[in-house]
């Protein structure tokens, strides 16, 4: 019996190694650490109520102030990002991470706005390799098909594209909120600041100990998925890691800060943007 069980386990591990995450259906087991924060967030796509919290985004007119760029990525095809260059000479970069919709025109407009506001270069990274969604069902499939190994390689490729003297701030929303924190961890001492808008935070204290910056966490109080308990746990774990997190809570719901969403909460979004602006200007 023990030999049979061991043989079955080896078969399962072999299947996991040779299964592409992007080809798994929602009902299949994903072959990665289910305790990972970004994997936890991806599982929300199975929840019909979560999908219902994301009405189809409104049409957005692109402000043409940037351009798409590509750069080598280890182990695969070139990566892509939307680059908005600052008018002044600087080694400061802000890396933006898109929502579960993908790198759409709303995120590109955010890149232009933040570059002008902060006087830094902005790279809005494409973690979906050119794919975008216009419905919640499509977005859920893209988010669950995201390969974290590929995404980390894209972050490394973008950092090399920026140059060896570059330093980074990270920011993301929803799906991209979790990736903002993962990027801050990945970039180590090149990180100067990190902003997470209602993304699933890393809770592993040992990983958080490697973080080189503090974190601003934007939390909508009515969010049923990124809950107050989850944020409190993150605060506790950051403290245990000897790091600083500043959590700001707003009487709003998930995805409240996106003006292309029918659920946009203008008052809360503007208040949160003011907090983030002050924070990033100090970085």
Per-domain boundaries in the chain: 37-281
Residue 49 pLDDT exceeds 90: yes
Domain covering 37-281, topology: Rossmann fold (3.40.50)
Query: Is-above-0.85 flag for pTM?
Result: yes
The pair phi, psi for residue 246, each rounded to 5°, is -115, 105
Q: For the residues 38-48, what does the mean pLDDT come to? A: 93
Contacts by 215-218 with C-beta closer than 8 Å and gap 24+? Answer: 215/181, 215/184, 215/243, 215/244, 215/245, 215/246, 216/245, 216/246, 216/248, 216/275, 216/276, 216/279, 217/245, 217/246, 217/247, 217/248, 218/248, 218/250, 218/257, 218/272, 218/275, 218/276
How confident is the model over 51-89, as pLDDT tens digits?
988 999 988 999 989 999 999 999 999 999 999 999 999
How confident is the model over 239-263, as pLDDT tens digits?
999 999 999 999 999 999 999 888 8
Question: Could you tell me whether strands 191-197 and 167-173 are parallel, antiparallel, or unpaired per DSSP bridges?
Answer: parallel
Poorest-pLDDT segment among 27-36, 133-142, 162-171: 27-36
């Amino acid at each position: 019996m023990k030999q049979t069980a061991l043989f079955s386990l080896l078969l399962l591990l072999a299947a996991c190694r040779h299964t592409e995450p992007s080809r798994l259906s929602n009902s299949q087991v994903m072959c990665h650490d289910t305790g990972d924060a970004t994997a936890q967030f991806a599982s929300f796509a199975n929840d019909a109520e979560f999908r219902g919290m994301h009405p189809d985004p409104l049409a957005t007119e692109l402000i043409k102030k940037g351009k798409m760029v590509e750069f080598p990525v280890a182990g695969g095809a070139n990566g892509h990002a939307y680059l908005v260059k600052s008018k002044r000479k600087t080694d400061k970069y802000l890396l933006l991470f898109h929502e579960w919709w993908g790198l759409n025109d709303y995120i590109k407009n955010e890149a232009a706005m933040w570059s002008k506001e902060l006087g830094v270069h902005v790279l809005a990274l494409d973690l979906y390799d050119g794919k975008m969604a216009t419905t919640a069902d499509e977005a859920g499939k893209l988010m669950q098909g995201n390969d974290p190994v590929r995404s980390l390689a894209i972050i490394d490729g973008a950092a090399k594209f920026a140059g060896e003297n570059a330093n980074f701030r990270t920011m993301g929303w929803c799906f991209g909120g979790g990736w903002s924190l993962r990027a801050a961890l990945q970039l180590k001492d090149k990180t100067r600041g990190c902003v997470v808008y209602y993304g699933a935070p890393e809770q592993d204290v040992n990983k958080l100990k490697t973080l080189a910056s503090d974190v601003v966490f934007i939390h909508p109080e009515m969010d049923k998925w990124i809950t107050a308990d989850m944020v409190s746990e993150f605060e506790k774990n950051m403290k245990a890691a000897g790091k600083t997190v500043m959590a700001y809570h707003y009487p709003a719901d998930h995805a409240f800060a996106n003006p292309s969403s029918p659920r946009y909460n203008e008052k809360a979004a503007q208040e949160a943007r003011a907090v983030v602006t002050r924070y990033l200007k100090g970085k």
